[in-house]
Amino acid sequence: MKSIIVPVDFSNQSEKALKVAASLAKKNGADLMVLHMLELSPAIMGESGYISQEQVVHLIKLGEQRFSDFLNKPYLEGVNVVPVIKHYKVFSEVNEVAEKHNADLIVMGSNGADGLQEIFIGSNTERVVRTSEVPVLVIKGDSADFNPEQFVFACDFEEESVPALKKAKEMSDLLGSKLHLVYINTPGDEFLSTEDAYAKISKFLSAAKVGMEVEIYNDYTVEKGVLNFSEKIAADLIGIPTHGRRGLSHFFMGSIGEDIANHSQAPVITFKI
């Protein structure tokens, strides 16, 4: 891992993400690119909607000073921090910055279950997840030393998820985590017999050229299965595949991925298919 991007907006959530990103950067000798998007809020606009050039310059300078103060943290000592300021309004352009600087990971903060909008619905985190070509790590808790030991990766074990599994395997090796693969078997039309499930899994692992054990976990819904299995093994990290701009993979159709990300007590990392 050579480069990590963490977008910040000076919130508590973004500082939690910054701490985790700093921890990862220290352990891997990576550059930490801290990205702040300057925004001119409508609240500071006059009734005419016009701001003079002098006012704009003043506001930009205030934002830059606040950014500098925000980065004055003891946990950033020893980290090669690269401040990046963009004059964009939202975080949807983060992927462009990641591609330009060949970033390996994007780390972002979230409120989780207390704010559904903070994850996959109309939020900055959602925009980054859906547009990012690199893995996105969503952080909720406060941790100055990010060291996940148990890493759960859940998918539908269809061939399109093979690239996501490979990325998850690379990430688990990098973090020194034990990777647990799980297939959630649910009642209804999607239910598979044990024999059929293992046949599907075997075909998937053969295509991925990965020799790993996969646990079949039965539950009423996919999201409950992922969360219950993760709780069962005391997972520190949960990985899920995404289709990026097309939304979550069909395995996480509808609110499944949102529920996992929002209700998980562990951080969630997404991998582009």
Q: How far is CA 15 from CA 7, 11, 18, 131, 253, in A?
A: 10, 6, 5, 22, 31
Separation between Cα atoms, residue 196 and residue 54, nearest integer Å: 68
Query: Beta strands 150-154 and 178-185: pairing type?
Result: parallel
In three-state secondary structure terms, 171 is: helix
User: For 44, which DSSP code?
Assistant: G
The structural domains of the chain, with segments of one domain joined by +, span: 1-141, 148-273
Per-residue pLDDT of the chain (273 residues; tens, 9 = 90+): 899 999 888 888 889 999 999 999 999 999 999 988 766 554 444 555 556 677 767 777 877 888 888 899 999 999 999 988 876 555 567 878 888 888 999 998 876 544 434 444 346 666 677 678 889 998 887 877 889 999 999 999 999 999 999 999 999 999 999 999 999 999 987 899 999 999 999 999 999 998 899 999 999 998 899 999 999 999 999 999 887 555 444 444 445 666 677 778 889 998 888
Superfamily of domain 1-141: HUPs (3.40.50.620)
Backbone angles phi, psi at 108, to 5 degrees: -135, 155
Order the strands of the 150-154 sheet from edge to edge: 81-86, 31-37, 3-8, 105-109, 136-139, 268-272, 237-242, 150-154, 178-185, 214-218
Separation between Cα atoms, residue 222 and residue 259, nearest integer Å: 10
The verdict on domain 148-273 having CATH code 3.30.1330.40 is: no
**Rg (the chain; Cα; Å):** 20
Q: How far is CA 88 from the centre of its chain?
A: 21
Fold identical between 1-141 and 148-273?
yes
In three-state secondary structure terms, 207 is: helix
Tokens of 169: 């395997």
